[in-house]
Copies of this chain bind each other. A is one copy, B any other.
Amino acid sequence: MSSEEPARGYHHGNLREALVEAGVALARDGGPTAIQLRAVSRQAGVSHNAAYRHFANQEDLVAAVAERCMHQLGLLMIERMQVVTVRDRVRRAQERLQAIGLAYIEFARTEPGWFRTAFTSAQPHPSAEKARETPPPADERFTSPFALLNERLDELVEVGAVTPARRQGAEFVAWSAVHGISSLLLDGPLRNLPEPEVGPVIAAVLGGVNHGLY
């Protein structure tokens, strides 16, 4: 990836960014516990304690890295969604929902360190009032996994595949199921499930969610 600029004086110039990036790299293998103040400082070619000029404490750094990880998850979901090219509006909406669900699980399984990091010390869900205080950056608004899910469900209503009544609360059902199976496969009692059984289990969960929508 990007090695730090070779020539730099006393000041790094872009340390906060470098520290977060180092944290992301460490979290990729190693998960949230690998995000250590001294380790990221080392990787950024800076002395321990330098990080304290940019983060209040370790937890603060982890939170910043977690945000990036969540963003990565959103990016994969978008990517997997965009390759759906069915013309039929109804089927496209259905397959798009399926795609982001699969992407979510795929992310958990291919980037376990990032997934675990994203969901420890995750950002709180913006309740209506709080959201007004700290408006999320435009970037975030489009890559938030939760926002992506809501868009898909809304689309399903738009094209008439799902009744507005069934739409109610569906985001929580779908999100819970997909997040749940991801967690169980990654860290839960299903973590040693033999590989050939994994596919059918995932299919069962996604099928269940789908069936619940109609």
Contact = CB atoms under 8 A, between A and B. Distances in A.
A119 B183 contact: yes
B189 A123 contact: yes
A178 B179 contact: no
A76 interface: no
B205 A125 contact: no
A52 interface: no
B168 A204 contact: yes
A47 B192 CA distance: 36
Interface residues on A, range: 35 or more
B119 A188 contact: yes
A122 interface: yes
Contacts of A86: none
Contacts of A187: 119-122
Given A123-B189, A180-B177, A188-B119, A212 B204 contact: no
Contact of A179 (B125, B168, B183): B183
Interface string A55-75: 000000000000000000000
Interface in A111-139: 119-125, 127, 130
Contact of A176 (B127, B146, B176): B176
Nearest to A124: B192
Nearest to A129: B194
B208 A169 contact: yes
Given A183-B119, A200-B169, A212-B212, A205 B191 contact: no
A25 B88 CA distance: 57
Contact of A192 (B125, B175, B177, B197): B125
Nearest to A70: B189
21 contacts: A119-B187, A119-B188, A122-B188, A122-B189, A122-B191, A124-B191, A125-B189, A125-B193, A127-B192, A127-B193, A127-B197, A172-B181, A172-B201, A173-B205, A176-B176, A176-B178, A176-B179, A176-B184, A177-B180, A180-B181, A180-B183
